[in-house]
Structure 1
Amino acid sequence: MLLRLNVADHRPLHEQVAGAIRRAIAEGECVPGDRLPPARDLSQALGVNVNTVLRGLRALRDEGVLEFRRGRGVTVAQGADDRSALLDRIREVLADAERLGYGKDDVIDMIRGVT
């Protein structure tokens, strides 16, 4: 699993760690049942403190994305690979936008305005 943090991102590091893991799952690098590397290995790879990684992992556990199992480590939870569901919702939004006379660029501008 290749994770990277964006140095230009102003979010707290633990949120960036959680986001990087979410992206890896969404992009299929990790699938439900896959075991994540130990927090110490992730912290070294990302260049952050191990407690920062653990905080990000705990947040993902609380969201139901990861499972912590004694003796088995941290694994990706079932249902955590909802990228296809997200893509379906995006297609629905684009279809709705088209019906209302908006194009993809208009939708992108709307999304940028929301964030």
Structure 2
Amino acid sequence: MLFRVDPNSTVPLGDQIAASVRRAVAEATVAPGERLPAARVLAESLGVNVHTVLRGYQQLRDEGLIELRRGRGAVVTGGASPQRARLQERVREVVATARELGMTEAELLALVRTALHTP
């Protein structure tokens, strides 16, 4: 699995790391049960702080894409479907666009609710 970060990007490095894993799940280049690199190893290879990697991994855990197991590291969960990973990535893009437009959370949620109720 290839991890890339752009230190010049406005996207936080932890978010970029999480996006790399989401992309790999979406493209089915990682499978449920597969282990991700240890946080220290990945941090060293990317030239970032270990806490940055852990923030990215924690995002993925909160999304249900990975499990963090003490002593065993980060493991892709069985619920990590490519479709779900693609959807999560698109949602993040929508949120980023809404922020760029200066939309409030209430305005964005209203748009989503409208879309949910429109055939």
Report the Cα distance in structure 1 between the residues aligned to 2:24 and 2:34, rounded to whole angstroms. 12
Q: Tell me which amino acid in the other structure corresponds to 1:56.
A: G
Counterpart secondary structure, 1:41:
helix
Cα gap change, 1:14/1:85 in structure 2, threshold over 3 Å: closer, same or farther?
Answer: closer
State the 1:27 CA deviation.
Answer: 1.6
Q: Where do 5+ consecutive residues of structure 1 fail to align?
A: 88-110
Question: 2:22·2:85 contact (CA, 8 Å) conserved in 1?
Answer: no
Amino acid of the structure 2 residue aligned with 1:48: V
Larger radius of gyration: 1
Identity, % of aligned pairs?
A: 52
The alpha carbon displacement at 1:57 in A equals 0.4
Q: Name 2:15's counterpart in structure 1.
A: 15
Name 1:46's counterpart in structure 2: 46
2:76 — aligned with what? Answer: 76
Cα distance in structure 1, aligned partners of 2:20 and 2:86? 17
Distance 1:36 1:78 in 2: 14
Instruction: Look up the equivalent residue of 1:12 and give its one-letter code.
Output: P
Question: Could you state the TM-score of these two structures normalised by the residue count of structure 1?
Answer: 0.66
| Partner Cα distance (1:62, 1:31) in 2 | 18
* RMSD of equivalent CA atoms: 2.6
- Give aligned pairs, total: 91
Q: Which amino acid aligns with 2:38?
A: P
Contact 2:28 2:82 in 1 (8 A): no
Give the partner amino acid of 1:15. Answer: D
The residue that corresponds to 1:26 in the other structure is 26
- Alignment-mate amino acid for residue 81 of structure 1: S
Q: Contact (CA 8 Å) 2:33, 2:76: kept in 1 or not?
A: yes
SS at 1:74 equivalent: strand
What SS does the corresponding residue of 1:68 show, helix, strand or coil?
strand
Q: CA deviation at 1:45?
A: 1.9
Runs of 5+ unmatched residues, structure 2: 88-92, 98-119
Stretch of structure 1 that moved more, 77-86 or 40-49: 77-86
